[in-house]
């Protein structure tokens, strides 16, 4: 069984890339950073050498990992974790509260339109959660 204790990152070692692209992290000379030889991403070491953080402008949040001795574990999953309760809350409000209220207030010809609007609005949070967790 592997150790779950987080180890300090050593600049004299090579590590596998945490992006799961089968690359190797190589120390960048005269910096406290690593570069991947396959995906060309740059990673800096934070938190007194215990956290590896990806430098990227394409993500709305910082991706960070901790080294356990043989694999990387996600260090900060706060934003992705908070999407699920928000999305479920929106779906709950739309389906359980708003849809029956709208159907009760609507006349016969607009019931289908209200139902389609509710379904489309319920799909948006589901799409948001899927996009968050697909990587």
User: Is this model's pTM higher than 0.75 or not?
Assistant: no
Beta strands, E only, 10-85: 15-16, 24-27, 33-36, 42-46, 51-55, 64-67, 72-74
**Cα first-last separation, the chain:** 26
Give backbone dihedrals phi and psi of 17, rounded to 5 degrees, phi first: -70, 130
Residue 39 and residue 20: Cα distance in Å, rounded? 10
Q: How far apart are CA 66 and CA 43, in angstroms?
A: 12
Q: What is the pLDDT of residue 125?
A: 75
Among 98, 105, 101, 103, smallest CA distance to 121 is for: 98
Whole-number pLDDT of residue 16: 92
Give CA separation, 94 vs 44, 80, 99, 108, 122, in Å: 42, 22, 6, 20, 7
Tell me phi and psi for residue 44, to 5 degrees: -110, 155
Per-residue pLDDT of the chain (135 residues; tens, 9 = 90+): 444 678 888 888 889 998 876 889 999 888 888 998 888 889 998 878 888 888 876 666 678 889 988 888 888 655 555 666 777 777 777 777 776 777 677 666 677 777 777 778 778 777 877 777 665
């Amino acid at each position: 069984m592997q150790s779950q204790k987080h180890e300090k990152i050593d600049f004299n070692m090579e590590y596998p890339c945490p992006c799961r692209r089968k690359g190797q992290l190589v120390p960048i000379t005269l910096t406290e950073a690593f570069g991947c030889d396959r995906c060309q991403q740059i990673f800096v070491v934070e938190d007194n050498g215990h956290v590896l953080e990806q430098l990227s402008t394409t993500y709305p949040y910082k991706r960070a990992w901790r080294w356990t001795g043989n694999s990387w574990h996600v260090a900060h999953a706060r934003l992705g974790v908070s999407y699920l309760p928000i999305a479920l809350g929106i779906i709950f409000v739309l389906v359980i509260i708003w849809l029956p209220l709208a159907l009760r207030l609507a006349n016969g010809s607009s019931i289908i339109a209200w139902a389609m609007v509710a379904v489309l609005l319920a799909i948006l949070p589901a799409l948001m959660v899927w996009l968050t967790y697909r990587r």
